[in-house]
Amino acid sequence: LIEEKSVLADQLQAEAELFAEAEEMRARLASRKQELEEVLGEMETRLEEEEERGTQLTNEKKKMQQNVQDLEEQLEEEESARQRLLLEKVTLETKVKSLETDMMTTVEQRDRLSKEKKQFEERLSEVTDQLTEEEEKTKSLNKLKNKQEAVIADLEERLKREEQGRLEQEKFKRRMENDSVETQEQLSDLGMLSAELRGSLAQKEKEITTLQGRLEEEGARRAEAQRSLREAMSQVSELKEEVENERGMRERAEKQRRDLGEELEALRTELEDTLDTTAAQQELRSRREAELNDLQRCVEDGARRHEGQLSELRVKHSGAIDNLQEQLDNSKRARQSFEKAKSVLEEERLNLSSELKSLQASRTESERGRKRAEGQLQEVGARLAQADRERDEKEEKVHKLQCELETLGGSVSSSDTKSLRLAKEVSSLESQLNDAKEQLQDESRQKMAHSSRVRALEEEKNGLMERQEEEEERAKELTRQIQTHAQQLAELRKQSEEVNTAVEGGEETRRKLQRELDSAVAKELQKEEEKERVERQRERLREEIEDMTLALQRERQNCTALEKRQKKFDQCLAEEKAVSARLAEEKDRAEADSREKETRHMALSRALQEAQEGKEELERANKQLRLEMEQLVNQQDDVGKSVHELERSRRSLEAEAQNLRIQTQELEEELTEAENSRLRLEVNLQALKAQFEREIGTNEEKGEEKRRALSKQVRELEIQLEEEKSQRSGAVLSKKQLEAELQDAEATVETTTRGKEDAMKQLRRLQGQMKEVLRELDESKLSREEVMTQSKDNEKRIQTLEAEVLQFTEELSVSDRQKRQAQQERDEMADEMVNSSSGKNVLFEEKRRLDARVSQLEEELEEEQSNAELMSERQRKNALQ
């Protein structure tokens, strides 16, 4: 018993020690849980910041696309303005042809209307003949008289209006004659100007050849710009893919967080189970080992995926460097094309100086329009001010883009700060690891598997060595990038100096061209005023032609309305005929029914009379038989005849009498039925007669109303025909006048269009030259500003790269320290493994979990660093573009 008590006491002490150890482990796990929750909160904030960065990148992409669309819309507007002028010319020619065809169609329609008028007159004569046969001639004639008097009053008013219209047309004709005199004077002036412009045409043709060469160069530049746009779109797609990758990483982190929470809950349940039995502890430990093995496999798979992603990012980085080299080559080519354009501008300057002399000679002759030119010069100044404003707006857009690039740099710096935070977290976790190792030293009584611990430490050593090698390779790559960026900076500074010199020369040429343009624009504005006068006259003629077409359309509508009315009149007549035929048929049917019923009535009455006569004859025969019977009875003798024979004869006579009675009853019944049917037929006949009379009355009333309506329509048609006759006569006169005016106007329009086309050609040439000069100046300014921004961005990048190099050196030193600490821990753990006896599985699992957590955090640090590098590369690409 004492031994059992001692054994039980030892067991109680051991269980108490295990319970105390379990409580300590629970407290530690609770502290670790809080620390891990804090780490998770920081990771969530980091993910939110990365999402905000992604939204900023999408907004920047949209702004770039809007700028590209604005440039494309400007190009399309310029091309559409050029095409509109050509389309207007074609439309004018088509309108003249359409007017000629409309005149031919009006003549044909007039002939058709005359034929239709004859047909209408013939039909009207037929209708009037039919109406004269009806009863209400006097009433209709009186109404016609009153209406015709009203029509005469209306016609007199219309005649007065037409006289006023003729007076207005004569006034308009006089105005047109005055305008024609003015246009002839203007044509003479335009002839003088055309002679002068022909002299300048020969010189401008040379300029066209040079401009064609420039256009080809601009086409090449456009192709290059489109290629750069495609590259930008590909970069945008890459950014989208990277954002999706970041989202996947975030989802993985959330999954890992959930797994850790589940593991903590499992640990809690396991700790509660350890208080109950030791057997359950062993089972739970085996389960934990299996779960730890699964987690280690997942961690190894994640490390492999991360290495694959790193290799892909390296490939993308090399491709980006190749693109930068191609863009540098393109900038050199653009510089060569700019030098060529400079030489062409010098040639144009000489040509324009020669043109200036000729224009000064013509300027003495254009003193009359000096006052008008001053107003037009003010308008040109306003246009130039608008152009300057647009240029300022474009400069503001460029400034905004620079600000956006600076914000991108700020986002890169924020990502760098995040990487520093992660490094701090790693250091804190390393301190936690040190605490755990100290706890392992305190719990050195428990044994641990030698081989497993040594293998784990060797794997960590190999991982640290691989990381050290990768960091050394990164440092080498960064030094190479710094050198290449320094070379690019030197080249860009040289290019900026050259561009500044070219811009100054372009501004001088621009000033000279503006002076020359002012003098040319004054002349062109004079021509435009003359052109506007001619266009006003043309518009007047168009309005008159449109009025004529409207009048013709009204006449056509009236004709169609008359045709519709005639059709309606024919339909009404046909309906009336159909109704009268229907009524006649119904009347015939009713008369036939009445006749049949009368014949039946007569037949039945005859049958009744015959039946009555037969009855009377039978009654007479019956009376005679009775009398004979009585006589025979009285005359019978006892000898000759027997009683039996008399009875037989009496019975036969009675039977015959009964048959006769039955027949008489049947005949009486038939008579009553015939009388009833006769009465019914008489009632029906009276009702049918009343209905027939009513229908005839209603039909006669409807016919009278229709006749009245038709008479009204006929009168209205006659009035409309008279109105159409008067309108046609007026339209023919106005048509002849308009044809004469059209011929005069077409002659003036042809002369003015020739002068207008010559002036427009010169205007287009001068405007094209001015636009090209302005474009080249803007391009030179933009290139200078781009070079300046690129130089600033490159300086910023060099500073960031230097900071990154310092960070990488610090990370190398930290990794060396970690390596040394791991070696020391390995040696210490090897010494401790000899003395460890119990609790090895629990501590081994905890150590593995902590190692897995450290490896996860290190992977996240590497991912953040890779993201920072990708952002810096994108900024470089955007700056170079």
As a whole number of angstroms, the distance between CA 73 and CA 81 comes to 12
- Cβ atoms of 756 and 527 within 8 Å: the answer is yes
| pLDDT confidence of residue 638 | 45
- Cβ atoms of 442 and 28 within 8 Å: the answer is no
Q: Which two tokens stand for residue 525?
A: 């504005």
Residue 621: C-alpha distances to residues 607, 616, 648 (Å): 21, 9, 19
- Cβ atoms of 179 and 537 within 8 Å: the answer is yes
As a whole number of angstroms, the distance between CA 407 and CA 415 comes to 12
As a whole number of angstroms, the distance between CA 669 and CA 671 comes to 5
pTM for the complete prediction?
0.20
According to DSSP, residue 365 is labeled: G
Q: Minimal CA–CA distance to 21: which of 849, 856, 852, 842?
A: 842
Amino acid at site 538: R
The rounded radius of gyration (Å) of the Cα atoms in the chain is 60
CA atoms within 13 A on the CB side of 685: 15
At 159, is the secondary structure helix, strand, or coil?
helix
pLDDT along the chain (881 residues), means of 10: 77 80 81 80 80 80 76 75 75 75 76 75 72 68 69 72 73 70 68 67 68 70 69 68 71 72 68 58 66 68 67 65 66 66 67 64 61 62 66 65 60 57 59 62 58 61 66 66 62 62 62 66 68 70 70 70 70 72 72 71 70 72 70 54 61 71 71 71 70 72 72 71 71 69 68 67 67 68 68 67 66 66 64 54 65 68 69 67 57
| pLDDT confidence of residue 669 | 75
Output the CA torsion 151→153→154→159 (10° steps): 120
Output the CA torsion 614→617→622→624 (10° steps): -170
As a whole number of angstroms, the distance between CA 51 and CA 57 comes to 10
Token look-up 């090897």 returns 830
Q: Minimal CA–CA distance to 735: which of 727, 747, 725, 746?
A: 727
Token look-up 């209708």 returns 127
**Spatial CB neighbours of 155, under 8 Å, sequence gap ≥ 6:** 722, 723, 726
As a whole number of angstroms, the distance between CA 211 and CA 233 comes to 32
**Spatial CB neighbours of 438, under 8 Å, sequence gap ≥ 6:** none
- Cβ atoms of 461 and 823 within 8 Å: the answer is yes
| pLDDT confidence of residue 762 | 66
| pLDDT confidence of residue 204 | 64
As a whole number of angstroms, the distance between CA 457 and CA 449 comes to 13
| pLDDT confidence of residue 16 | 80
| pLDDT confidence of residue 482 | 59
- Cβ atoms of 769 and 513 within 8 Å: the answer is yes
As a whole number of angstroms, the distance between CA 13 and CA 617 comes to 156
Per-position b or e across 5-24, b if 16+ CB within 10 A of its CB: eeeeeeeeeeeeebeebbee
As a whole number of angstroms, the distance between CA 496 and CA 787 comes to 6
| pLDDT confidence of residue 146 | 72
CA angle, residues 269, 273, 274, in degrees to nearest 5: 120
Amino acid at site 96: V
Give the sign of the dihedral formed by CA 849, CA 850, CA 851, CA 857: positive
As a whole number of angstroms, the distance between CA 495 and CA 493 comes to 5
As a whole number of angstroms, the distance between CA 223 and CA 211 comes to 18
Amino acid at site 151: V
